[in-house]
Copies of this chain bind each other. A is one copy, B any other.
C-alpha cells in the first residue's frame, strides 16, 4: 500500500486528489495539509467527502515522510518549498505550474518573474503519461500539466509528431469552466457576474501557451496562436484547434495517426460520429472522469483540419492525471482508481 500525502488539500485540485485517492485500492492518504483549515475535517471543505473520510487537515509543518507527495499549492509556492519537501517522499507530484517548463527563461517570459529553484527544472518530468510514460517510470519528480495545455497537447500531438501538417502552426480556442480559476472568491467569479458569461479572459498571452509550444516541438517549436474564453460551466475544457494538413492527407490518414498514438491508451477516446448528438467530444459527460476525448473534421473546402479535445480540468487536467502518473511511477495498473465512467445525462 502506497502512502500518500496531499499538500494544499483544501483547494479544488487537492480536493479532487482526495476524492480519487480515497477510493484508490493501492494507495492510502495518510495526511492532507491546509494552513487555513488545519484542525478541521476535510469534509468541512469538500462536502462530497462527508462520511467518506475522517481525515483532518494538518499544517504543512506537521507533514511527515510518505511514499508519494502531491503538491497542490498555488502557483509560485512549490518552487519555494521544493528544497524542504524533496526529502519527504520518494515521489513528488507537483500539480502547480512551477516545474512544467524546461527552460528557466520561460518563467520570466510567461510568468513575469524568474524561477526561484531553476536547478530542479531539468529533474522534473512533464507528467502526461501519454507523452512521457517512460520517463515517468524512472522519475522522482513529476509535474502536472496545465489543464488547457493538456487538452491542446493531447489533441494535437499526433499531428505534429507524425508530420502530417503543412505548417507547424496552430490556432487554438480554449473554452473553460469556472473551477479552473480556483477556490478564492473574486468579483470575476461572483455568481451574478460569472453565471452565463462568455468571457474572453485571455485572448492572447495565456501562460499555458509555453507548455504547448514545449510539448509540440518535434524538431522545432511550432507557432501557437492561443485564446481562452471562460464559459458557463463549473468543470470542463473544450479546445477547438485549426491546423492545415499536407496535400494528400485525408481524414482516413488522420485516423491512422491518432490510432497509432492512442490506440492502446486507456484514457484517450477518439470521438467522431456521423450521427447522434454526441458526434464530437463533449466536456460535460467527462465531469469526474480521467478521459480526454478527441475528435476532428477536415474542411471539405480546403486542407484545414479542426481538432476538438475535451476533458475535466480538475481530473485529466490536474489531479486525475497526477494519479495516473503516480500509478505509472509506482508500477500499478495505470487506470487504478480512475475508473469512474462519467454521467449521462448531466
Question: Which one, A68-76, A79-87, A115-123, A279-287, is touching chain B?
Answer: A279-287
CA distance A298 to B203 in the complex (A): 9
Q: How far is the CB of A181 from the nearest CB of chain B, in Å?
A: 8
User: Hey, what's the 0/1 contact readout for A291-333 against B, CB within 8 Å counting as 1?
Assistant: 0000101111110101010100000000000000000000000
A52 CB within 8 Å of chain B: yes
Asked whether A308 lies within 8 Å of B200 as measured between CB atoms, the reply is yes
Chain B residues with Cβ below 8 Å from A341 are: 19, 22-23, 48-49, 52
Chain B residues with Cβ below 8 Å from A298 are: 204
Asked whether B229 lies within 8 Å of A175 as measured between CB atoms, the reply is yes
Asked whether A240 lies within 8 Å of B188 as measured between CB atoms, the reply is no
A5 CB within 8 Å of chain B: no
**Within the complex, which residue of B173, B200, B276, B346 is in contact with A281, where a contact is CB–CB below 8 Å?**
B200
Asked whether B171 lies within 8 Å of A233 as measured between CB atoms, the reply is no
Chain B residues with Cβ below 8 Å from A51 are: 269
A39 CB within 8 Å of chain B: no
A247 CB within 8 Å of chain B: no
Chain B residues with Cβ below 8 Å from A200 are: 238, 240, 279-281, 295, 297, 306, 308
Q: How far is the CB of A301 from the nearest CB of chain B, in Å?
A: 7
A246 CB within 8 Å of chain B: no
Chain B residues with Cβ below 8 Å from A285 are: 47-48
Asked whether A191 lies within 8 Å of B280 as measured between CB atoms, the reply is no
Asked whether B304 lies within 8 Å of A191 as measured between CB atoms, the reply is no
CA distance A280 to B190 in the complex (A): 17
Chain B residues with Cβ below 8 Å from A137 are: none
Asked whether B346 lies within 8 Å of A287 as measured between CB atoms, the reply is yes
A214 CB within 8 Å of chain B: no
A194 CB within 8 Å of chain B: yes
Which has the most chain B C-beta neighbours within 10 Å: A192, A238, A299? A192
User: Hey, what's the 0/1 contact readout for A262-289 against B, CB within 8 Å counting as 1?
Assistant: 0000000101010011111111110111
Copies of this chain in its oligomeric complex: 4
Asked whether B229 lies within 8 Å of A240 as measured between CB atoms, the reply is yes
Chain B residues with Cβ below 8 Å from A295 are: 200
Asked whether A198 lies within 8 Å of B178 as measured between CB atoms, the reply is no
Asked whether A192 lies within 8 Å of B199 as measured between CB atoms, the reply is no
Which A169-202 residues have C-beta < 8 A from chain B? 171, 173, 175, 177-179, 181, 183-200
Chain B residues with Cβ below 8 Å from A219 are: none
Which A82-132 residues have C-beta < 8 A from chain B? none
Q: Which residue of B lies closest to A19 (CB)?
A: B341
Which A150-168 residues have C-beta < 8 A from chain B? none
Asked whether A190 lies within 8 Å of B189 as measured between CB atoms, the reply is yes
A235 CB within 8 Å of chain B: yes
Closest 10 pairs (CB-CB, A-B): A192-B345, A47-B278, A204-B299, A203-B306, A191-B194, A232-B232, A48-B342, A178-B191, A185-B185, A173-B173
Apart from the given pairs A203-B306, A229-B240, 17 other A-B contacts in the complex at a CB distance below 8 Å: A12-B192, A47-B344, A48-B285, A48-B289, A49-B344, A175-B231, A185-B189, A192-B234, A193-B277, A197-B284, A198-B233, A200-B279, A200-B308, A223-B302, A227-B240, A231-B231, A235-B346
11 residue pairs of the A-B complex, CB under 8 angstroms, read: A19-B341, A44-B276, A173-B240, A175-B198, A179-B345, A188-B277, A195-B234, A203-B306, A204-B298, A204-B306, A288-B288
